[in-house]
């Protein structure tokens, strides 16, 4: 079965066709996409038997890959308030792909689904039970498709390991504690704003600080600031970590602070995920920053020597694709794994269609 994988980003649309053995048969990237369903694609694709879509938020209803029906689409749309940056783009991707391929089944694969295994202690917020029950307030977790693939792939590459911390680092950043293939903790929470500082998102903040800001800002201004003008952009004026590195090298104190805050919070989060696992067998970096920024990896691992971690400097600097970067003396293997959410989506699409899952 050939599966067209649709990954709708905030301003782009990535399409790839994967064959039965997950070989990439075709790729197309719409760099600037305004969300219109009327895509005029000048490309020739191999036969497509099904379409798999990345959807960020599945809420409590969608915990497995799910065939998209009109009712399912409405259910996805109803979750927009929980992921206002991401859910509308996923819906636009669904509409665009269904217009292009109206005669094949479409399947939604949810980033939150991997974290459905979070134990109650990790998923529950200490809020009034009436609030939690009325509004489904809990830690959902995100980047699940990436964490699922990276953790499984790293175990294969390392030849074993039951306690894995995966670091998905890109424009959005999150960590996951994975025990025997199951997510048991993660840094993102009810929304993708939580956890680590990111390109433009704040990550975790004191709720009292937010209440204080509401005395000075409207809710819309606060939401916009937290999502679009915080994180690296808020600290250094640059959302791209490459620009932050360049500014830091030129002596920009704000850029240096941004790097220090980012890596401090990252080390802190990895240590917390290790505590949730009761130990660490593998540390994995993936995503745009995780795969391509040896300086961040070095800053993080050097600060976690107390966990038995040590880098091979040469391997870290030269890492390309899937690569082991731990030193021989490192008690815990350290790996870089190429993000392949497309494989996870294609496999989920085939699984859903084989089981004929329709909610």
Q: Please choose, from the candidates 278, 350, 359, the residue with its C-alpha nearest in 3D space to the C-alpha of residue 50.
A: 350
* H or E element that contains 3: strand 3-8
Residue 301: band (very low, low, confident or very high) from pLDDT cuts 50, 70, 90: very high
DSSP 63-91: -S-EE--HHHHHHHHTTGGGSTTTHHHHH
Q: Please choose, from the candidates 17, 24, 13, 23, the residue with its C-alpha nearest in 3D space to the C-alpha of residue 2.
A: 17
How large is the average pLDDT for residues 297-325? 97
* Averaged confidence pLDDT in the chain: 94
More confident residue, 10 or 259: 259
Out of 43-47, 71-75, 197-201, 237-241, pick the least confident. 43-47
How large is the average pLDDT for residues 68-75? 97
Helix, strand, or coil here: 5? strand
Can you give the pLDDT at residue 304? 98
Can you give the pLDDT at residue 100? 87
Start-to-end CA span in the chain (Å): 23
pLDDT at 358 over 60: no
* H or E element that contains 169: strand 163-169
Residue 72 has phi, psi (to 5 degrees) of -65, -40
111 belongs to the catalytic site = yes
Can you give the pLDDT at residue 85? 79
Global confidence as pTM: 0.94
> Is CATH 3.30.420.40 what the domain over 3-138+341-355 is classified as, yes or no?
yes
- What single-letter DSSP state applies at residue 344? H
Helix, strand, or coil here: 311? strand
- Map out the domains of the chain as residue ranges: 3-138+341-355, 155-336
Residue 3 has phi, psi (to 5 degrees) of -115, 125
Between β-strands 24-30 and 13-18, what pairing exists: parallel, antiparallel or unpaired? antiparallel
Can you give the pLDDT at residue 300? 98
pLDDT at 13 over 90: no
**Annotated catalytic residue, options 42, 49, 103, 111:** 111
Out of 28-32, 52-56, 279-283, pick the least confident. 28-32
pLDDT at 240 over 70: yes
pLDDT at 357 over 70: no
CA angle centred on 23, ends 43 and 94, rounded to 5°: 55
CA angle centred on 313, ends 329 and 262, rounded to 5°: 105
CA distance 226 to 223: 5
CA angle centred on 257, ends 254 and 258, rounded to 5°: 90
CA distance 113 to 115: 5
Alpha-carbon dihedral sign for residues 269, 113, 94, 288: positive
Residue 359: band (very low, low, confident or very high) from pLDDT cuts 50, 70, 90: very low
Can you give the pLDDT at residue 84? 83
Can you give the pLDDT at residue 41? 64
Tracing tokens 């390991």 back to the chain, one arrives at 161
How large is the average pLDDT for residues 202-231? 97
- Asked if 3-138+341-355 and 155-336 have one fold, the answer is yes
Residue 48: band (very low, low, confident or very high) from pLDDT cuts 50, 70, 90: very high
Residues 6+ apart with CB under 8 A from 92: 8, 35, 36, 37
* H or E element that contains 178: strand 173-179
DSSP 314-333: HHHHH--SSEE-B-TT-SS-
Residue 278 has phi, psi (to 5 degrees) of 75, 20
Q: Which CATH number fits domain 155-336: 3.50.50.60, 3.30.420.40, 1.10.357.140, 3.40.50.720?
A: 3.30.420.40
pLDDT at 277 over 50: yes
How large is the average pLDDT for residues 92-117? 94
Residue 86: band (very low, low, confident or very high) from pLDDT cuts 50, 70, 90: confident
CA distance 345 to 55: 10
pLDDT at 10 over 80: no
Between β-strands 182-186 and 13-18, what pairing exists: parallel, antiparallel or unpaired? unpaired
More confident residue, 31 or 149: 149
CA 284 to chain CA mean position, Å: 14
Q: Are 171 and 288 in contact (CB under 8 A)?
A: yes
Can you give the pLDDT at residue 11? 63
CA distance 126 to 275: 20
């Amino acid at each position: 079965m050939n599966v067209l994988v649709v990954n709708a980003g905030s301003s782009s649309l990535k399409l790839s066709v994967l064959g039965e053995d997950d070989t990439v048969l075709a790729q197309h990237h719409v760099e600037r996409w305004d969300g219109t369903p009327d895509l005029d694609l000048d490309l020739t694709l191999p036969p497509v038997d099904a379409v798999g879509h990345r959807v960020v938020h599945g809420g409590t209803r969608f915990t497995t890959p799910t065939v998209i029906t009109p009712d399912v689409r409405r259910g996805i749309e109803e979750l927009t308030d929980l992921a206002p940056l991401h859910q509308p783009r996923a819906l636009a991707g669904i509409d665009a792909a269904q217009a292009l391929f109206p005669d094949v089944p479409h399947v939604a694969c949810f980033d939150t689904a991997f974290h459905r295994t979070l134990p109650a202690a990790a998923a529950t917020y200490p809020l009034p039970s009436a609030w939690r029950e009325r509004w489904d307030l809990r830690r959902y977790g995100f980047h699940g498709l990436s964490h699922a693939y990276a953790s499984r792939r790293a175990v294969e590459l390392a030849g074993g390991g039951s306690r894995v911390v995966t670091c998905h680092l890109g424009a959005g950043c999150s960590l996951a504690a994975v025990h025997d293939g199951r997510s048991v903790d993660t840094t993102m929470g009810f929304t993708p704003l939580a956890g680590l500082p990111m390109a433009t998102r704040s990550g975790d903040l004191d709720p009292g600080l937010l209440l204080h800001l509401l005395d000075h800002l409207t809710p819309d201004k606060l939401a916009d600031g937290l999502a679009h003008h915080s994180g690296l952009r808020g600290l250094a004026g640059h959302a791209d970590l490459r620009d932050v590195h360049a500014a830091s090298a030129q002596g920009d104190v704000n850029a240096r602070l941004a790097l220090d805050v980012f890596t401090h919070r990252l080390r802190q989060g990895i240590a917390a995920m290790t505590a949730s696992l009761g130990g660490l067998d593998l540390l994995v970096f993936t995503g745009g920053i995780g795969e391509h920024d040896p300086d961040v990896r070095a800053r993080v691992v050097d600060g976690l020597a107390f966990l038995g971690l040590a880098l091979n400097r040469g391997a870290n600097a030269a890492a390309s694709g899937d690569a082991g970067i731990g030193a021989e003396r490192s008690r815990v293997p350290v790996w870089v794994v190429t993000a392949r959410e497309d494989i996870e989506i294609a496999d989920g699409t085939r699984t859903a269609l084989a089981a004929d899952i329709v909610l």
